[in-house]
Structure 1
Amino acid sequence: MTTYAVTGATGQLGSLAIDALRARGVAPSDVVAIVRDAGKASGLRDGGVDVRVADYADGAAVRAALEGVDRLLLVSGSEVGSRVPQHTTVIEAARDAGVGLIAYTSILRATASGLALAREHVETEKVLAESGVDHILLRNGWYSENYVAALQPTLDGGVLYGAAGDGRVAPAARADYATAAAAAIVDGTPRVYELAGAESLTYDDIAGILAEVSGKPVRYQDLPQTDYAAALAQNGVPAPMNEVLADSDAGVARGELDGDATDLTGLVGDLTPFRDVVRAAL
């Protein structure tokens, strides 16, 4: 019997990964949900999942939370700029607790990527390589949900803003990445997965799909990277995330979040169409 732990288990990806593990037949009692706030995990606990409290930065707490765990899904932290020390703490705690396999959610083609977001992922991959623990790299591409996070203002204004030029992106639904993570960690083979969606879309394509599904006119307005970062800040996106998002759009312009990787389809099968993600958001 194998015990699986998931960090960030009440977060968007972590919670879906637990659902995906259970869908693959893993018993709730064999799943450990590692959370920062136990109050947010009542649904998991009520479903029979073992909820344990630990912060990414608290090595002793993480070590205790990983007691008896065989395989760990390390969902990358959300605190840009602090993730390398946080991830290192979790990896070292997992090694000390005797975890046999760590699956880590990295970024598409991390070691070749020019995205600012890739830097902490590359450093984390190095820490994993040096840890001596068997590991799986889940190099996730862009989430389809990134384009519907501010859907209502986009529809109200009729404009999708960005800095991607005529570059293409291959997004996939968060649930598909979660399903892939569950499939990979249950299989347990240490390897690198390059995970990208099956659709290759320009931002004009994305604007067209938003318009088609919503029934409202939407066009794409391309901005210089610095102007887009400033616009995001003016609309409430805090630093440094506004700069990171603008930089990521510049990466789309260079083709860094596009590609013909088929690992996601191989793990999941048929992927969720971008249109369906938009429809669900509406």
Structure 2
Amino acid sequence: MFAVTGASGQLGRLVIDALLDRVAPTEIVALVRSPDSVSDLAAKGIQVRAFDYDAPETLAPSLAGVTRLLLISGNAVGSRVPQHDAVIAAAKAASVALIAYTSLLNADRSPMLLAAEHKATEEMLAASGVDHALLRNGWYTENYLMGAGAAIAHGLLLGSSGDGIASVAARADYAEAAAEVLLRGLTGTFELAGDTGFTQAELAAALAEISGKPVVYQNLPQADYAAALEQAGLPGPFAAVLADSDARAGEGALFDDSGTLSQLIGRSTTPWRETIAKGLVA
């Protein structure tokens, strides 16, 4: 029995789609805070169970019968350590045989602020005694679509990563890898990133080519970029984390050329220009 947390999210749904290509719906459990949000999955014959990271006492019963669990990291930055700890404890109590966790590229040595909670979760998994796989995901190409519209509108892409290269892959590539790990019962650490990547200047050039409008990249000091993000409407703490991630990308934190992701899914990762182009049209 395969279970996926955060099944209503973008990654979770893609993982379930990948599993459905290989196993019967009755072998899949979708774990979500609000079961009504995935009524379409229930209609396909998938088991839908309530699963709230912030309600630890409810977690173990929802894992009954589950043998392999994908723990998709929570989206509440700053609260993920206790949330993940609760899920790991529940999985152990429910005798889950394998936990696969969506971590961060090079989490054990990454200088990113975002790495701290992932590193702590990895340490909790190691201490749990439960067999586990660390899916150390790089950035999704789709992450860069969030600011693409504004960059095209203003002809200016802002950032703090300088000439740093981000080895990106489509969200579906990472989802396929997660499904593969669950299906094969793999354990260990997987540094997952795209076969190709780009600098922010190269992204700006691609946005210009795709849109037919001029777009240039302007590199800013980290503090100035954080201020620009906050001015654009992001909460201050979140803007600071994003600016830190971008600056650390400039130091190589999002670069990986191991090819582990493409080896795991048995094909090349989705070209980043293709994902950007499709996203701009959508």
TM range (shorter): over 0.9
Q: Aligned AA for 1:5?
A: A
- Aligned equivalents of 1:166 and 1:9: distance in 2? 36
CA positional deviation for 1:20 = 1.0
1:246 Cα deviation from its structure 2 partner:
0.3
Are positions 1:190 and 2:187 aligned together?
Answer: yes
Match of 2:137 in 1: 140
Report the equivalent of 2:75: 78
Q: Counterpart in 2 of 1:271?
A: 269
2:172 — aligned with what?
A: 175
Helix, strand or coil at the partner of 1:165: coil
In 1, Cα distance between the equivalents of 2:236 and 2:31? 28
Aligned to 1:212: 209
Kindly state the Cα deviation for residue 120 of structure 1 after the two structures are TM-superposed: 0.2
Tell me, which stretches of 5 or more residues in structure 2 are unaligned?
A: none
Contiguous gaps of at least 5 residues in structure 1 = none
Contact 2:2 2:66 in 1 (8 A): yes
Normalised by the length of structure 1, the TM-score is 0.97
Q: Deviations along 1:70-111, whole A, 9 cap, x unmatched?
A: 000000000000000000000000000010000000000111
Partner of 1:9: 7
- C-alpha distance in 2, partners of 1:244/1:19? 31
Could you list the structure 1 runs, at least 4 aligned residues long, displaced by more than 4 angstroms after superposition.
none
Q: 1:249 corresponds to which residue?
A: 246
Is the contact between residue 195 and residue 268 of structure 2 (CA under 8 Å) also seen in structure 1?
Answer: no
Q: Quick one: which amino acid aligns to residue 6 of structure 1?
A: V
Instruction: Tell me the TM-score normalised to structure 2 length.
Output: 0.97
Matched residue SS, 1:139: strand
8 Å CA contact 2:193–2:260 kept in 1: the answer is yes
Q: 2:100 aligns with which of 90, 98, 103?
A: 103
Q: Which residue does the alignment assign to 1:19? A: 17
Structure 1 residue 281: Cα displacement? 1.0
Give the secondary-structure state (helix, strand or coil) at the position aligned to 2:31.
strand
Q: For 1:199, which of 189, 196, 199 is the aligned residue?
A: 196
Deviation string 1:115-135 (CA, Å, 9 cap, x unpaired) is 000000000000000001000
Q: Helix, strand or coil for the counterpart of 1:167?
A: coil
What residue number does 2:116 align with? 119
2-side partners of 1:28 and 1:220: how far apart?
46
What's the CA shift string for 1:172-229, capped at 9, x where partnerless? Answer: 1111000011011111121110001111311111111111122221111111101111
Partner of 2:132, secondary structure, is: strand
> AA paired with 2:260?
D
Which SS does the other structure have where 1:110 is aligned?
coil
Query: What is the distance in 1 between the residues matched to 2:214 and 2:46?
Result: 45
Cα drift, residue 270 of structure 1: 1.8
Counterpart code for 1:236: G
1:31 aligns with 2:33: no
Structure 2 Cα separation of the partners of residues 130 and 280 of structure 1: 42
* 1:35-62 Cα shifts (integer Å, max 9, x gaps): 0112211111111110001111212211
Given residue 101 of structure 1, which amino acid in structure 2 is its aligned partner?
A: L
Cα distance in 2 between the residues matched to 1:221 and 1:160: 6
Question: Taking every aligned residue pair, what percent have the same amino acid on both sides?
Answer: 52
Distance 1:22 1:213 in 2: 34
1 CA distance for matches of 2:256 and 2:39?
40
C-alpha contact (below 8 Å) 1:213/1:275 kept by paired residues:
no
